[in-house]
């Protein structure tokens, strides 16, 4: 059988039918053979199925003459190309997506009738898209930014989209402020920069005038926005939702994703350098992990609480700038999500996938969070503009995997061909047209509403600082220093002094020490006044669950180790380090001055996975340097080699070095400390490599 397949019926081209680890087994169902004489390859055709004899030359009046308008092949190809782009998402344009499944391990039967949350052991297919917010589709993977965490569950009762972020709160309390927030953070409209960066005047100006954003600002300035890998971030549904059971009773719920690999971030200097070394750092990491069978995995957990319990919280859970501390309502793990298949085609799937928080299934319902209420409108509207048609649900990545049908008809890009006379309901002319399901269909929770209509903000939304303070005081000293330094960095890019001062004023309401550190970092001279808080600032109990360092796992699983070698390196030491790191779960890469490899001391050639100039140490979690004395002397004159070890040290990573390796370290002024160990002592190296050397930081940079 040749590979010359097209899908049957539609005549659409199928992807080249070679074996692919990423191909959806279900979509691989065979089409008819497109019968083209001669050759092994599929015939190249126009979109009308006409085979092409020549794809290299357009039709000319004579060999050196004008191109003819009659060339329908040229016109079709160029016109299609001209229309290849669709409007990119106004936010969350840059993303990585993958297929997988959700498996329920604990039934929530008492709380909900949603089968996806009651059928233990059931594997529900998912498509998950993790994004940055501010940058365009072509921006880098690693700006300081929130990560979107959107999961489409293709359940038996319809699609459920859980469209969350990697931060459990948001900047604003009311959807009507969203366009202002996004306009403020996006590149400034007169100059078209900065791309994918909040460090500029308009963002901080808006924030300084929006005290409700202070809690989110603490999270955004923390290393949460600098993830080491998308496999190592948490996800949050942010808003309260409702679960509704068979009896019609409802319970509030917050959704949490917890990475099996633990939480891990990079540090700012490292992040900046990663952006240059590999703009696709996170996408590549996810691609490589899935290709290697190291499937990213998260637990799904819920916080469940009643209306009465919520009334007792010292904040309003309908306010998306507040979280519910785990110490107040513990997390209950109910299942796991595994991402095990890369998309066949980035555009068809990751770009065209259309998430809407309004996509819920029977048994899941909304709360009155005013931010959520606005989102219920916005996403569907945005899909109409992006995908151009109310039939976007028919695009394969968006279509439910359960049967679906109704009397909606026509519209642009209608792919279905409904048969028969009936396009309305109720009707008496058809036996089998779709009907309502009074018993199993979607029902909203019967919630009583009273009160006066008006453009008002509830009094219970007035406290903007208490949880910001709780977040800050819950952090380790290292994390607090990073937050203070991030604020200094960002505000130092703000030209307007009054904006810098206004933010420091807000910080005084959060934590005086933080405000002093940032004020000193900006050389403010005189501390600005704190604005009057609309509600008294409360001291809430610290919540260690808000840390990153406290949630980092001491492990090399899912992490990467780089071994720098050169001509003359000792193969036995390299192998020892490689084996120890691989056994500990790391992906190991050999880095050498030339990609072809290095001639080792014993005369053998060791191939390299990366060339030194293009494979800096920022791409690894720990490094080893195995060099002969001559190799070290040569590399001491090589900027990329000096940077390799100096950055590894500066980014608080473990360094294992043999005798020659230490020669290079000395040339780079890298001192010995607890994380700089002998490469031959693989136990010491692996122990150090499993974590970061936080205590080293004060020796390598001045933090605010
Ligand atoms: Fe979104 N958001 N958002 N957002 N959001 C979009 O929808 C919007 C908010 C989130 O991978 C857009 O399809 C409004 C909170 C994710 O395709 C748009 C408000 C949270 C994604 C939109 C918010 C999110 C989006 C742009 C304030 C965390 C990417 C493209 C009321 C819970 C989904 C699109 C994907 C995308 C509107 C606030 C998460 C314009 C009006 C809070 C993960 O519709």
Q: DSSP readout, 359-375?
A: ---TTEEE---HHHHHH
Which residue from 379, 380, 385, 392 has its CB within 8 A of the most atoms of ligand 1, so it is best to mutate? Answer: 379
Does 166 contact ligand 1 (Cβ within 6 A)? no
Last residue of a domain, one of 378, 394, 410: 394
> Do 190 and 297 fall within a single domain?
yes
**Ligand 1: which residue has its CA nearest to atom 12?**
379
Q: Are residues 318 and 178 in the same domain?
A: yes
- Same domain (yes/no): 591, 647: yes
Predicted confidence at residue 39, as pLDDT, reads 58
Same domain, 59 and 150: no
Closest ligand 1 atom number to CA of residue 130? 11
Residues 103 and 212 both lie in one domain: yes
Output the residue whose Cα is nearest ligand 1's atom 13: 379
Report, as residue numbers or ranges, the catalytic residues: 92, 165
H-state helical runs in 598-658: 629-635, 639-650
Is the CB–ligand 1 distance for residue 131 below 6 Å?
Answer: yes
| Pocket-testing residue among 161, 163, 171, ligand 1, by greatest number of atoms within 8 A of Cβ | 163
Q: Does the C-beta of 92 come closer than 6 Å to ligand 1? A: yes
663, part of any domain: yes
Q: Is residue 606 part of a domain?
A: yes
Of 394, 410, 426, the residue that ends a domain is 394
Are both 56 and 149 inside the same structural domain? no
Q: Are residues 270 and 366 in the same domain?
A: yes
For residues 96 and 142, what is the distance between their CA atoms, to the nearest angstrom? 12
Note whether 153 and 193 are same-domain residues: yes
Residue 40: predicted pLDDT: 80
Same structural domain, 68 and 117: no
Taking the CA of residue 382 as reference, the ligand 1 atom at the shortest distance is: 44
Residues 625 and 653 in one domain: yes
∠ CA(249), CA(250), CA(256), 5° rounding? 150
Which tens digit of pLDDT belongs to each residue from 558-602?
Answer: 999 999 999 999 999 999 999 999 999 999 999 999 999 999 999
Residue 514 lies in a domain: no
Backbone angles phi, psi at 631, to 5 degrees: -60, -40
Q: Does residue 479 lie within any of the structural domains?
A: no
SS3 445: coil
**Is residue 700 exposed (0-12), middle (13-18) or buried (19+ Cβ within 10 Å)?**
middle
In this structure, the answer to whether residues 188 and 210 fall within a common structural domain is: yes
613-635 burial code (b ≥16 CB/10 A, e <16):
bebbbbbbbbbbbbbbeebbebb
- Alpha-helix residue ranges (DSSP H) falling in 397-496: 466-474, 477-492
Q: Where in 245-401 does DSSP place strands (E)?
A: 250-259, 297-305, 332-341, 364-366
Sheet of 560-564, strand order: 610-611, 587-592, 560-564, 622-625, 654-657, 676-678
378 Cβ closer than 6 Å to some ligand 1 atom: yes
What pLDDT digit, counting tens, does each position of 372-413 carry?
999 999 999 999 999 999 999 999 999 999 999 999 999 999
Q: Do 130 and 35 share a domain, yes or no? A: no
* pLDDT value of residue 681: 95
The domain of 18 spans: 5-82
For 135, other C-beta atoms within 10 Å of its C-beta total 22
Confidence class of residue 680 from pLDDT cuts 50, 70 and 90? very high
Question: Would you say 692 and 653 are in contact if contact means Cβ atoms under 8 Å apart?
Answer: yes
Contact 247, 591 (CB under 8 A): no
User: Does the structure show a pLDDT above 70 at 542?
Assistant: yes
Check if 89 has its Cβ closer than 6 Å to any atom of ligand 1: yes
> Whole-model pTM?
0.94
pLDDT in tens, 55-110: 999 999 999 999 999 999 999 999 999 999 999 999 999 999 999 999 999 999 99
Compute, in angstroms, the gap from residue 120 CA to the centroid of ligand 1.
30
Is residue 569 in some structural domain? yes
Give me ligand 1 centre to Cα 227, in Å: 20
CATH number at residue 25: 4.10.91.20
How much distance in Å is there from the Cα of 359 to the middle of ligand 1?
A: 13
Which residue's CA is the closest to the ligand 1 atom numbered 23?
375
Q: How far is the CA of 379 from the centre of ligand 1 (A)?
A: 7
**Pair 469, 507: CB distance under 8 Å:** no
C-alpha distances out from residue 64 to 52, 67, 73, 251, 650, Å: 22, 9, 19, 76, 61
């Amino acid at each position: 059988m040749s590979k010359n397949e097209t899908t049957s019926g539609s005549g659409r081209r199928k992807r080249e039918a070679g074996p692919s680890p990423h191909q959806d087994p279900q979509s691989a169902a065979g089409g008819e053979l497109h019968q083209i004489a001669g050759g092994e390859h599929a015939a190249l055709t126009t979109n009308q199925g006409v085979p092409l004899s020549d794809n290299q030359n357009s039709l000319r009046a004579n060999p050196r003459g004008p191109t003819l308008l009659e060339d329908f092949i040229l016109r079709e190809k160029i016109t299609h190309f001209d229309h290849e782009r669709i409007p990119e998402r106004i936010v969350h344009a840059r993303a990585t997506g993958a297929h997988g499944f959700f498996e329920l391990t604990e039934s929530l039967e008492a709380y909900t009738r949603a089968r996806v949350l009651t059928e233990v052991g059931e594997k529900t297919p998912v498509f998950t898209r993790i994004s940055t917010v501010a940058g365009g589709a072509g921006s880098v993977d690693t700006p300081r930014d929130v990560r979107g965490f959107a999961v489409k569950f293709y359940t038996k009762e319809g699609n459920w989209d859980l469209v969350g972020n990697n931060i459990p709160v948001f900047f604003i309390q009311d959807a009507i402020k969203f366009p202002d927030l996004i306009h403020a953070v996006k590149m400034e409209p007169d100059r078209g920069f900065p791309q994918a960066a909040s460090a500029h005047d308009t963002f901080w100006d808006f924030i300084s005038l929006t005290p409700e954003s202070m809690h989110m600002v603490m999270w955004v300035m923390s290393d949460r926005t600098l993830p080491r890998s998308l496999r190592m971030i948490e996800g949050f549904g942010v808003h309260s939702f409702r679960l509704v059971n068979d009896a019609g009773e409802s319970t509030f719920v917050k959704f949490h994703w917890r990475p099996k690999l633990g939480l891990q971030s990079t540090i700012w200097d490292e992040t900046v350098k990663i952006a240059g070394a590999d703009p696709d750092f996170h996408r590549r990491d996810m691609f490589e992990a899935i290709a290697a069978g190291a499937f990213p995995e998260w637990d799904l957990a819920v916080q469940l609480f009643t209306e009465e319990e919520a009334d007792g919280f010292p904040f309003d859970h309908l306010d998306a700038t507040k979280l519910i501390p785990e110490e107040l309502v513990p997390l209950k793990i109910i299942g796991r999500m595994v991402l095990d298949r890369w998309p066949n085609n980035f555009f068809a799937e990751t770009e065209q996938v259309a998430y809407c928080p309004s996509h819920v299934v029977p048994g899941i319902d909304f709360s009155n969070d005013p931010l959520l209420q606005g989102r219920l409108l916005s996403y569907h509207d945005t899909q109409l503009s992006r995908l151009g048609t109310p039939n976007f649900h028919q695009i394969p990545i968006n279509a439910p995997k359960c049967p679906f049908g109704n009397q909606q008809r026509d519209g642009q890009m209608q792919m279905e061909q409904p048969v028969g006379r009936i396009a309305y309901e109720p009707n008496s002319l058809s036996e089998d047209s779709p009907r309502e399901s009074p018993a199993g269909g979607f029902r909203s929770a019967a919630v009583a509403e009273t009160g006066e209509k008006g453009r008002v903000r509830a009094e219970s939304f007035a406290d903007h600082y208490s949880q910001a303070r709780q977040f800050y005081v819950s952090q380790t000293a290292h994390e607090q220093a990073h937050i203070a330094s991030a604020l200094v960095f960002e505000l130092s890019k703000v030209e307007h002094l009054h904006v810098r001062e206004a933010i420091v004023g807000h910080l005084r309401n959060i934590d005086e020490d933080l405000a002093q550190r940032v004020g000193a970092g900006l050389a403010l001279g005189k501390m600005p006044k704190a604005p009057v808080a609309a509600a008294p600032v409360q001291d809430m109990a610290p919540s260690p669950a808000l840390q990153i360092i406290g949630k980092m796992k001491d492990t090399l699983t899912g992490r990467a180790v780089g071994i720098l070698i050169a001509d003359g390196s000792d193969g036995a030491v390299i192998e020892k380090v490689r084996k120890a790191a691989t056994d500990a779960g790391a992906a190991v890469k050999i880095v050498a001055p030339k990609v072809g490899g290095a001639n080792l001391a014993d005369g053998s050639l060791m191939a390299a996975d990366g060339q030194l100039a293009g494979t800096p140490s920022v791409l690894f979690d720990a490094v080893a340097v195995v060099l002969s004395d001559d190799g070290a002397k040569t590399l001491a004159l090589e900027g990329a080699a000096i940077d390799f070890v100096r950055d590894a040290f500066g980014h608080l990573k473990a360094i294992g070095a043999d005798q020659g390796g230490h020669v290079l370290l000395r040339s780079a002024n890298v001192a010995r400390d607890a994380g700089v160990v002998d490469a031959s002592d693989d136990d010491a190296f692996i122990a150090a490599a499993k974590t970061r050397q936080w205590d080293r930081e004060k020796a390598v940079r001045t933090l605010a």
